[in-house]
Amino acid sequence: MSKTNPGNFFEDYALGQTIRHAVPRTLTDGERALYTALYPSRHALSASDEFARGCGLPRSPLDDLITFHTVFGKTVPDVSLNAVANLGYGDGRFLKKVYPGDTLNSTSEVIGLKENSNGKTGIVWVRTTGRNQNGEDVLTYCRWVMVRKRDPETPAPAPILPDLSTQVQARNLVIPENLQFRDYDFGLSGDPHKWGDYEIGEHIDHVDGVTISEAEHMMATRLWQNTAKVHFDVNARPDGDRLIYGGHIISLARALSFNGMANAQSILAINAGVHANPSFAGDTIYAATTVLDKAETSESSVGALRVRLIAGKEPITTAEIKESNGKHLPHIALDLDIWVAMPK
């Protein structure tokens, strides 16, 4: 009997089932430095202890996406090892900042199941929660993946679809403990624009591009202990290409968005997200933002902006990123709907 992990197949999931993921991970200044080396990340809150203290925090927290990738990476061996496709994200909220020295764990609950009509695959919805060493929730989000069935003959379960709202309501956003932007330094942050300067419908082309190399996306993906073969092994796909982990594109887009949204210091929520088209080494990734909504928050100096963060393989000069049939244009890699926190 094999001792290696064969991953779970569609039949292995049951509604309400809770999966406790391996391996706990202590994050440090090392991960922080590597993040800066891997992505053109410049947001001051996660770059400077002094700046973070000026915003009420004890020191500079790790980038929110370090939290996301670490929590996500742990789910791969249990949730997506036999996935055919990573279909989407939704209802995600960042609940607590993570600091160097914190140790993260992940658990997932199965919240939806639906076999596909071809009988060979099914869709699994999970709600994943990341917790720190004190058992405090730091992040929760839903994700759905298409997973292979072990045996096409297995009868289909009754389909159960989770009731996922299309967005996190502004009133449910959690402002990180003690975070405030009352004495915010717009000179040091690198951008004079406040929350009030952004208008719903506004589209920002973030201008800069990054051409991806194999070494960078593999190092990043390993850093989050994401073990999916397709990212590392040229023999894992018929075309011999190494698929870039979707989260790598999320981080590139977020980092590139500094140029035009440098004051979006914190991600508060993930309303929805899809990896529209795959990316490979050699692709040059550009980013753009469309402002979708604005809201006040529980802290008067912090405004929330709902934005569509887009990544593509060409500059994204307009908010039109889909064909008339609703399909994303072929150069669009990421379509991510998030809430971010900005100084008012």
Contacts of a copy of itself in 96-115 (CB under 8 A) = 100-101, 103, 105
**CB of residue 26 to a copy of itself, shortest distance in Å:** 4
Query: Which CA distances in Å does 82 have to 6, 55, 169, 171?
Result: 8, 43, 33, 37
Toward a copy of itself, which CB reaches closer, 56 or 162? 56
Report the nearest approach of a copy of itself to the CB of residue 228 (Å).
Answer: 10
Number of residues that bind a copy of itself (CB under 8 A): 76
Among 96, 242, 306, 328, binds a copy of itself (CB under 8 A): 242
With CB under 8 A as the contact rule, which of the stretches 3-11, 145-153, 165-173, 317-325 interacts with a copy of itself?
3-11
Note whether 237 binds a copy of itself by CB under 8 A.
no
Q: Does 227 bind a copy of itself (CB under 8 A)?
A: yes
Which residue in 229, 328, 245 sits closest to 39, CA to CA?
Answer: 245
Under rule CB under 8 A, residue 193 binds a copy of itself: yes
Write down the least CB distance from residue 223 to a copy of itself, Å: 4
Looking at the Cβ atoms of 16 and 135, the one nearer to a copy of itself is 135
Q: Which residue has the tokens 């039949």?
A: 11
Residue 232 sits in the site that holds a copy of itself (CB under 8 A): yes
Q: To the nearest whole angstrom, how small is the minimum distance from the Cβ of residue 100 to a copy of itself?
A: 8
Q: Which of residues 244-273 bind a copy of itself (CB under 8 A)?
A: 259-262
Which residue is listed with tokens 């061996």? 77
Q: Which is nearer to a copy of itself, 120 or 193 (CB)?
A: 193
Q: What does the per-residue mask of binding to a copy of itself show for 28-57, with x meaning CB under 8 A?
A: xxxxxxx-xxxxxxxxx--xxxxx------
Tokens of 190: 């690198």
Query: How close are the terminal C-alpha atoms of the chain, in Å?
Result: 60
Q: How far apart are CA 187 and CA 179, in angstroms?
A: 19
Question: What are the two backbone dihedrals, phi and then psi, of residue 84, each rounded to the nearest 5 degrees?
Answer: -90, -35
Amino acid (1-letter code) at residue 228: A
- Per CB under 8 A, which region of 10-18, 170-178, 221-229, 333-341 contacts a copy of itself? 221-229
SS3 342: strand
Among 11, 109, 137, 214, binds a copy of itself (CB under 8 A): 214
User: Is the omega angle on the peptide bond into residue 23 within 30 degrees of 0, that is, cis?
Assistant: yes
Residues 130, 84: Cα–Cα separation, whole Å: 24
Give the whole-angstrom CA distance, residue 321 versus residue 314. Answer: 11
Between 77 and 112, name the residue whose CB sits nearer to a copy of itself.
77
Compute the least distance from the CB of residue 303 to a copy of itself, in Å: 15
- The closest of 226, 268, 267, 266 to 248, measured between CA atoms, is 226
Rule CB under 8 A: is residue 22 a binding residue for a copy of itself?
A: yes
Beta-carbon-side half-sphere exposure of residue 72 (alpha carbons within 13 Å): 26
The answer to whether residue 137 forms part of the interface with a copy of itself (CB under 8 A) is no
User: How many other C-beta atoms can be found within 10 angstroms of the C-beta atom of residue 203?
Assistant: 15
